Structure 1
C-alpha cells in the first residue's frame, strides 16, 4: 500500500485479438478475408477479449517488486468480468463530481 510502499496487486493483460484477426484474415484471404474476420471479431467481441489473457501477481516493495505469472485457474475472474464497464462508469462519475465541485 501507500504507507508501506509495497504492492499486492493482480495485473490482467488482454491483447486486442480482434484487431489481429482482421489483419491476419486480410493477409491470408485478401480484402474479403479481412472483412469477414473483422465482422466475426465484432460479433464475438466479448469472448475474444479473454483469448490470450494473462494474469500476474505483483508483490513486494516499490523498489524491488516481484512479478509472478499465474494460471487462469489460480485467479478468481468474477470481479474482473465487467471491469472495463466499471472503469468507464467510475471515470465518468469522478469527472462529474469534479465538475460539480468547480461550479
Structure 2
C-alpha cells in the first residue's frame, strides 16, 4: 500500500507548494501519526506511506498555514479506507479559501 497526494490552489490556478500534510491511521486507541510532509513545488507529496496495512486513514492538510488566517477552513481532513494493501492510493485536494474538493486519484 502506498499513499500520495497532490494539492492544487484553485484561486491561483497553480500547485499549492509548502502545504503541510499529515497522514494518520485509526486504531482502537484513536488516530496515530504515520507520516508528515510538505508539498513540493509541484504541490505533490509522493511518499507519504508505503507498506502499511489495510485500515482507516486520514490526511490532514494545513490550509491556514498556506492560505492564511482569513481562510474559512483552517484545516481539511480527508478520511478514507484502504482495503487493498497492494494498491496505490492517491488523494488529490483542490482548495480555495471558501471551498475544497477531493477524490480518489490514480
**TM-score normalised by structure 1 residue count:** 0.24
Structure with greater contact order relative to length (CA < 8 Å, sep ≥ 6):
2
Of Structure 1 and Structure 2, the greater strand share is in: 2
TM-score calculated relative to the size of structure 2: 0.24
Structure (1/2) with the larger helix percentage: 1
